[in-house]
Structure 1
Amino acid sequence: MIDRDRLARLRASEEDRFVEQHPRSAALAARARGGLLAGVPMPWMTRWPGAFPVSVASASGGRLVDVDGHEFVDLCLGDTGAMTGHALPAVTTAVAERIAAGATAMLPSEDAAWVGEELTRRFGLPAWQLAISATDANRFVLRFARHLTGRPRVAVMDWCYHGTVDESLAVLDADGRVVPRPGALGPQVDVAETTAVVPFNDLDALERRLAEGDVACLLMEPALTNIGIVLPEPGYLDGVREVTRRHGVLLVVDETHTMCAGPGGATAAWGLEPDLLVVGKAIGGGIPCAAYGVSVEIAERLNGPMLGHEIDVAGVGGTLTGSALALTAIRSTLTHALRPEDFEVAVPLAERFADGVAEVIAEHGLPWHVQRLGCRAEYWFCPPPRDGAAAAAAVDEDLEGLLHLWCLNRGVLLTPFHNMALLCPAHTEADVDRHTEVFAEAVAALT
């Protein structure tokens, strides 16, 4: 239903507009190409629409200002890292005071016990450890799972996302074989040797694969997010828990993105019972940190190894992990943000976002769809997919690129490699309505 020639003309016009509006960002991007690989400090930054990345000058609450002085409604929020809103004042103050008193000493600080207790209160698991990122936390819990079960493989969902964990960069090909995810650079070993892959929302496939007896744990998000929001079908997550228990497979829930479901993520909101749980990004208010929790049984079984003389070379932890700075950031963030009252503001905003997009889609008779999980919402150029492979097949990079650039040129930032919006308490109904207005203009121009 989309005229591809018209789409290409619109994209070219928006590219010209972008370059004209961002001379300072263009100059900084040209300079960065002289000293930074790919011209950016982190390669994903190349995924933003436009001929070069916009350089940020400041960000506060739900707004961002670039070096050319343009203000944006920021619906990306650091791809969840700033889910609280940017520059939360209480966190800014606490972090500044902590830095002045010493950021890292390889010793616990006064905040440590509080952080463990609060994570237990929110997510239900009784024992916690810290990590610098959710990627690291996932790596650590996979080591624990293999150690405890004596089994070699990890199971993941097809087209999942768990950071840069090697075992998770795997998908199923058209013949059902485990192969590296497209784009994965230099797999250290054949992922078919380390990883079992099953489709999301398919209990029969999970049952068949776990019955082979070689899987240590299933690492999964309660809802897929990084291939677009794919929600679990009724009864699916209960079925996953039953199947994993029956086959002696540990269940690891990664809540790094799905914490958008509420203060205790989907685990608390949906009554899940994981053996291990990982959460990252948002809990530090922008300071790099993550945490992983374990059940009573797993804690008892790990106490010996964790107190062992050679734990420093066990492949778990890191010199800056669990620093005083990270613990202060987590304590301040969880004290002042990501609380029930914060979600009571952010979730209705996400509902308003989804409703506005749905109205535009219906007005133009498009076979598109908008999906929501808590304070996160995302639109698809297809009916709602039920698994990751269907979601991946529906990606339309040309259409996505135009809509992202159209929004950016009109003061609205979406997450660059999704059609995703994340809402925080600092956003307003007017911010949401601005996106709806811009989205409606783009769709009208296309159709």
Structure 2
Amino acid sequence: MKSKVHLLVTILTCLFPIICLSFGKGYNYGATPLFLCAIFLLKETRIALSVPQVKLISLVFGGYFLVFVLAMLVHGESASYIDQTSRIIMALPVLLLLICYPPKLKWLMISFMIGSIIAGCIALYQTQVQLMPRAFERWGPVGTTWWHKGYMPIQSGNIAMTLGIISLCFVLYFHKTKQTTWVIVGSLGALFGMLASFLSGSRGGWVLLPVALIYLVVSNTKFSLKTLTGTAVFLILLIGCAASNDVVREHLRLNEAINNISQYSNGDKNTSIGVRFELWKSATITIKQYPILGLSKAQRVAEREQQVAAGIIELYSGAETYHAHNEYIEALSMRGLFGLVGLIAMLVTPILIFMKNKDASHPKLSAVNQAGIAASIMFIGFGLTQVFLGHNSGMIFYSFIMVTLLALSIRLKQNHSQLTGQL
């Protein structure tokens, strides 16, 4: 019976990255059966709560959710205010499930690669065949279909980038263990995931990519100043070459970004980047006035309308309801200092656990921890220009990817410690 459950858990876990971007609502359909399985087996798997690192991550994730509950009560928000954030609580039973029934690691590695390749193929089809201006738009040439519904260029592009960077981590594992076939498949996965992000025009998804790549280089080579310098020079040249290419500039909307900044400096605020700058300016004012608990959604709209009327900021009609387009500013302005502390704790704690569990002598453990840290770096970067976790897709993807990698890291570390202790 246990072997059958183990196989089922492995299949459900592997399905998540595969179907995540296969269609617009893929992240929902991938997470739901895994959650239901975790709830069904909760009576058995709750024993995993005795593990110190599981207690820590449960406390941090639970604390992040409670900050939203506090803000809802203080600001008089409706229950829908905590709906998206509740996904992080839903992921905790999955964490327990995956520690008690860890999925087959090689299967999971391959599933990330397949999911990344699928994302790239979809992005190519949408932009080169359907001639959509950006991959992962909500609508196609014939309007919104079941396939397009649920996509968002920024969110989906960032998810694709994460799948790509995780695939790259697993490529390094297969290279070390001399599994050439999977090195090739994984390399395609890394390339297609990044290509999908590129075709989505999600510029924010590339902000901390150099940091993640430098981390992987340093982690997989003997550290030296020469190695670090060489990597930095390579990335600078790569970015410089890409930025000078017209096709790349078009898809990454670099020309648009440059023009937006120039227009903003000349007084035109109603551009993509100009609106972001004005939203950041508005949020900064709010943070100074309400630093501890922030404002409710309705109060923020009213504040922005007053700021527009006073000429402090410029926003076109309807933009007053937008989020701040920055995860950290959004947390501060809407939930105050409690919100920012909860957010940072949620993003940083997994990194600390992955670093604590790292062991260069254990290739599988090393691969999982590197994937977790690299993915965390990307999530931190997404928040600089987008409220990635403010969308259902972002919260589900972050929660389930993190608990999957954390569960594997914790379980592999336990097994390795027991083995070395016996030796």
Q: Choose between structure 1 and 2: higher strand proportion.
A: 1
What TM-score, normalized by structure 2, do the two folds share?
A: 0.33
What TM-score, normalized by structure 1, do the two folds share?
A: 0.32
Q: Choose between structure 1 and 2: higher helix proportion.
A: 2
